[in-house]
Amino acid sequence: MSKGKVLVIDDEYGIRSGVDQILTLEGYEVAQAETGQEALAALDRQPFDIALIDYRLPDTDGLTLLQAIRKRKLDIMTCMITAYANIETAIAATRQGIDFFLPKPFSPEDLIGVTETLIRHKLLRKEAEELKKAHEASLLALASEKSQTHSLVTSLRDAVLVVNRTGEVVLANPAMGKLLRKEEDRLLRKPAAEVLAAEPFAPIRAALGQATGENTVFEIEMGDQQFMVSLTPFHSERREVLGHIATISDISEVRRLALEKSRFIRTMIHEFRSPMGAVKSILEVALDKSMGDGLEPYLPLLDRAEKRLDGLVELIGNLLSLSKIEVEGKKKVAFEPVDASAAVKEVIDLYREKMQARNLRVEVRVEPGMPRIAVPADDLRTLLVNLIGNAVKYNRDGGTVGVQAGRLDGKARIDVADTGLGIQAQNLPHIFDDFFREKRKETRDIEGNGLGLAIVKRLVERSSGKIEVQSTEGVGSTFSVYLPLNPSR
Ligand code: ADP
């Protein structure tokens, strides 16, 4: 393999062939050109590592040729060989990017030395260029990584503040800006103690001040909002603490839900305890034979105990329904659409005996040819059992229970109406809350646990439907449910 390709451009035959011989012996591949034109033609034909250019050529001068070579943007080292080297030529050639000068006459050693130097320079130049490219690529990668991190931090819902070792803010995301009511850019380079000067942030200031190097998590409050603060140190490779990242997350909603859950559990325990207490005292009366040896006097009490136990069984059933709805969440369960008419009839039949006992009239009207309702059959049944059950339970003796089903704006609308006690206007907004029951003397003796309508609302909503109520105290109530229809009947 040759050590490199050299083009010698000189009009003097002696120089051309001398250079050719010396360099070929040294292991270079040499080509000759007598004129500028020949030289350019050779350069256009194949790549060279070195061009040795005579300053005086028959058709042009070395500088003009050098310019033409530079224009071609070739990866080539250039060396001017001239007997007329003067300072001006040297400056002009250097300006045009000549790499070396070799004054004539030169010895074979001079020529070999210069050629070797040029080849080495070319190699170094190539390496330098590759290094530069690699450096630029890694800079680019770093920049894109930085911008990715930046957009990630920017889009976070949690507020993020990065504080350096001297306690200065070096990064704050928009969520932090919002929390501190300042544009995030205006937080930069400020002392963290100043940025977090407000009273609610005192624990963060204190924690930053102590800076144990450990991860710390604690809570703070601002007005009626609760936040969780996580303070994480970041380290250098030598494990020195370089600063801290503070993340502040709004946990108000989580807290509210947790509180709601614990309230629910407390009410539930109460709902269990009171019937169990009642049944226990009835059993004590019976066991003590406080009302004599005969069974007869105890029968009303035992009847009462049975009712309370029925209530307990119903409560358990309702709690199971609620927990099932919660577990299933919003996920779509496979189901067959149901026929409204059949579903209404089935539930009315369930209450027929109770309605007769209280002399209630029932009016059912289902639009003929109504498409099926696109909800699970069990959901529709539970919903009707609760609404029709309430229309019976909260009715007056001799009143009416009306059930109407039809189409409205592409949806199914089911109305369950009664001519009973009605609901007090101020209680209407709470009627669907868990365990809510109206406390009125008219409803005092009516058994219930206040979960029926809460279940109905959840069932309706998980099928993308809605429920409304209209009621007048002492006149009656109408519950209207809107549900999706099955498009293909
Ligand atoms: P429950 O009937 O077991 O108490 P619900 O959740 O079904 O529980 O109903 C909650 C409350 O709403 C009832 O306690 C009652 O005060 C009121 N309510 C529900 N339906 C009617 C109705 N048709 N007429 C009058 N009040 C009703």
What spacing in Å lies between the alpha carbon of 377 and ligand 1's midpoint?
A: 23
Written in H, E and C, the secondary structure of 65-91 is HHHHHHHCCCCCEEEEEECCCCHHHHH
What is the DSSP code (8-state) at residue 441?
T
Tokens 């033609």 found at: 41
What spacing in Å lies between the alpha carbon of 421 and ligand 1's midpoint?
A: 10
- Please indicate whether residue 438, judged by its CB atom, sits closer than 6 Å to ligand 1: yes
- Please indicate whether residue 431, judged by its CB atom, sits closer than 6 Å to ligand 1: yes
Which pairing describes strands 159-164 and 241-250: parallel, antiparallel, or unpaired? Answer: antiparallel
Read off the pTM: 0.65
Closest-CA residue, ligand 1 atom 7, reads: 452
Q: Which tokens sit at 123?
A: 């190699």
Q: 368: cis peptide before it, omega within 30°? A: no
Closest-CA residue, ligand 1 atom 8, reads: 450
Closest-CA residue, ligand 1 atom 14, reads: 437
Q: CA 183 from chain center: how many Å?
A: 23
Note whether 407 and 489 are within 8 A (CB).
Answer: no
Note whether 467 and 473 are within 8 A (CB).
Answer: no
What spacing in Å lies between the alpha carbon of 337 and ligand 1's midpoint?
A: 28
pLDDT tens for each residue of the chain, 489 residues long? 889 999 999 999 999 999 999 999 999 999 999 999 999 999 999 999 999 999 889 999 888 999 999 899 899 999 998 876 677 777 888 888 888 888 888 999 999 999 999 999 999 988 998 998 888 888 788 778 888 888 888 888 999 999 998 899 999 999 999 999 988 888 999 999 999 999 999 999 998 888 677 889 999 999 999 999 999 998 888 888 888 999 999 999 999 999 999 999 999 999 999 999 999 999 999 999 999 999 999 999 999 999 999 999 999 999 999 999 988 887 777 889 999 999 999 999 999 999 999 999 999 999 998 999 999 999 999 999 999 999 999 999 999 999 999 999 999 999 999 999 999 999 999 999 999 999 999 999 899 999 999 999 999 999 999 999 999 999 999 999 999 998 776
- Test site for ligand 1: of 312, 388, 415, 431, most ligand atoms within 8 A of the Cβ: 431
Q: Which tokens sit at 300?
A: 């009303």
